[in-house]
Amino acid sequence: MGVIDRLKAIGPGALVAAAFIGPGTVTTASVIGAEYAYLLVWTIAFSILATIVLQEMSARLGLITQEGLGEAFRDEFDNPVPQAITVTLVVSAIGIGTAAFQTGNIVGGAAGLSTITGISENVWGPVIGLVAAGLLWTGNYKLIERVFVGLVGIMGTAFLLNALMVRPDLGSLTGGLVPTVPEGSAYLIAGLVGTTVVGYNLFLHASTVQERWDGPEDLAECRADTIGMIVVGGIITTAIVVTAAAVFPAGTEIDNVGEMADQLEPVFGGYALTFFAIGLFAAGFTSAMSAPLAGAYATAGALGWERDLTSTRFRAIWMTILGVGIVFSALDYNPVQVIVFAQVANGLLLPILAVFLIYAMNNRDLLGEYTNTTLQNVLGGIVTLVVVGIGLRTLYDVLVL
């Protein structure tokens, strides 16, 4: 298979990778690199493995059953009470959650363009939102997927060039694969895993595989796409950590990617800053597209609505999510209370999703011969325990601190 054929084979996995490498991941990875150098690289490796385990299950569920995760949730409960609770939780965590975080996605992409052009983020924010809306409005999945593939390529190239320019210590980088938990790093570990293993990606993946492939005969290609693109996402995250580790003295505390950009400016005549800004724009823009799309798939599926990219209800959902982000980015307003609510809802939903996925993936009536193997169940169980821990940590941070 030639290079062009391999690129054409890339599918929904690119959407998943683009979705979890947003401004939040860029910020968390930068902070980790600045404070702990390569010591927490193992966290990226674990996060990628956990993401592959859950996303493969979600993709297989969608491909074999030709249903989204939202429909599977609804169908699993005959009693209207747990069904109503489940639907409410999905709509709250995914629908409202993606709307709350959408401001950060748009502002992150705008910050990248602002660094390059000097034009205010408040101007670029609405522009990014409107361009994203235009692409989603086409209802052309193949076009949307190609845009994601292209932007992941741009993002990966930009961040990898940065990492290569700062000439990382490969010995120390390899040593970072050995799990250690330095004092004070627990919240960052939970943060990185939490921004990589994303609940709404499970809904996004289960639905988009149906747009790309027809059924069980495509399972091998689907798995290759899932694993390959999530690994690419892990490499990009590692490149961000490597860059931060190289330009900051170990133990430096930073609060945002703006400090990362300032530190990069004198490196190699400013080229490193440009590459970082391009990568940040791509990360923000792809997340600004994937979050509304995921929110629409999840909400429509949970409510029993049609999951058609051109349907009025489907468009109404993603337009609402995107509209919230556009307005808040233009007003330079951070919806803190809504974000706190979304964090709580997501902290509750992700463990439930993980448990439900494993349960559903062992249902022979649903999947026949494509149910989980013992190894898949064991790996899924380990990931679920970690996800539960992260969920509890998130709830504690939001409700107590």
CATH of the domain at 53: 1.20.1740.10
Q: What's the pLDDT at 168?
A: 83
Q: What's the pLDDT at 139?
A: 92
Domain that holds residue 74: 3-400
Q: Hey, what are 102's tokens?
A: 């959408």
Distance between CA atoms of 123 and 128, rounded to whole angstroms? 9
3-state class (DSSP) for residue 129: helix
What is the separation, in whole angstroms, between the first and last Cα of the chain?
A: 53
Distance between CA atoms of 340 and 268, rounded to whole angstroms? 40
Q: What's the pLDDT at 53?
A: 95
- Residue 338 phi, psi dihedral angles, 5° rounding: -70, -40
Q: What's the pLDDT at 154?
A: 93
Q: What's the pLDDT at 333?
A: 66
Cα angle 230, 279, 340 (rounded to 5 degrees) comes to 75
Distance between CA atoms of 30 and 35, rounded to whole angstroms? 9
Q: What's the pLDDT at 334?
A: 61
Q: What's the pLDDT at 1?
A: 54
Q: Which residues contact 336 (CB under 8 A, 6 or more apart)?
A: none
Look at the chain and report how many structural domains it folds into: 1
Q: What's the pLDDT at 289?
A: 94
**Residue tagged 């690419």 (tokens):** 232
Distance between CA atoms of 30 and 254, rounded to whole angstroms? 8
3-state class (DSSP) for residue 221: helix
Kindly state the DSSP code that residue 248 receives in the 8-state scheme. Answer: S
Q: What's the pLDDT at 349?
A: 75
The angle that helices 199-212 and 69-76 make with each other, rounded to 10 degrees, is 110
Amino acid letter, 158: A
pTM for this model (two decimals): 0.90
Q: Which residues contact 356 (CB under 8 A, 6 or more apart)?
A: 72, 73, 76
Q: What's the pLDDT at 137?
A: 96
Q: Hey, what are 366's tokens?
A: 């649903």
Residue 222 CA: distances (Å) to CA of 18, 203, 228, 253: 17, 16, 10, 40
Distance between CA atoms of 312 and 253, rounded to whole angstroms? 47
- Listed as ranges, residues in the chain with pLDDT below 70 are 1-8, 77-78, 267-269, 333-347, 394-395, 397-401
Amino acid letter, 37: A
